[in-house]
Amino acid sequence: MFLYFLHEMIAAINWAYVAGGAMLVLALVGPGLSRRGRRRPSGPTFRVRNPYVIDGDTLAAGDTRIRIYGIDAPESDHPQGAASTRHMISLVKGRVLRVIPLETDVYGRLVARVQVGGEDLSARMVRDGYAMVPKPARRDYGRLEKRARKARAGLWRNGRIQDPRDWRNRQA
161-170 pLDDT per residue, tens: 777 666 656 7
Mean pLDDT is lowest, of 29-33, 40-44, 69-73, 86-90, for 29-33
Q: Are residues 23 and 80 in the same domain?
A: no
In a domain, 165, yes or no: yes
Q: 26 in helix, strand or coil?
A: helix
Residue 36: CB atoms within 10 Å: 9
32 or 170, higher pLDDT = 170
Q: Is residue 38 part of a domain?
A: no
Query: What is the pLDDT averaged over residues 60-74?
Result: 94
* Angstrom distance (rounded) from CA 162 to CA 171: 13
118 neighbors 56 (Cβ within 8 angstroms): no
Tell me, yes or no, whether 51 and 23 share the same domain.
Answer: no
Q: What is the pLDDT of residue 161?
A: 73
The confidence score (pLDDT) of residue 6 equals: 46
- Give the angle 154-51-138 at the CA atoms, nearest 5°: 45
Same domain assignment for residues 149 and 100: yes
Tell me the C-alpha distance between 163 and 168, whole Å.
9
Taking only the tens place, the pLDDT of each residue in 75-101 is 878 778 899 999 999 999 999 999 999
* Same-domain pairing of 98 and 52: yes
Of 54 and 19, which is predicted with more confidence? 54
User: For residue 99, which amino acid is it?
Assistant: V
CATH (domain of 122):
2.40.50.90
Could you tell me if residue 41 is inside a domain? Answer: no
**6 lies in some domain:** yes
Q: What does the pLDDT read at residue 97?
A: 97
pLDDT at 56 over 80: yes
Range of the domain at 10: 2-32
Are 72 and 146 part of one and the same domain? Answer: yes
On whether residue 40 sits in a domain, the answer given is no
* CA triple 41-44-60, angle to 5 deg: 70
Alpha helices per DSSP H over the chain? 2-29, 81-92, 121-127, 138-151, 164-171
**What is the pLDDT, as a whole number, of residue 137?**
83
Residue with the bigger pLDDT between 151 and 30: it is 151
pLDDT at 1: 53
pLDDT tens figures, 103-151: 999 999 999 999 999 999 999 999 999 999 998 888 999 999 999 999 9
Whose CA is closest to 163, among 88, 59, 83, 79? 79
Q: How many domains does the chain have?
A: 2
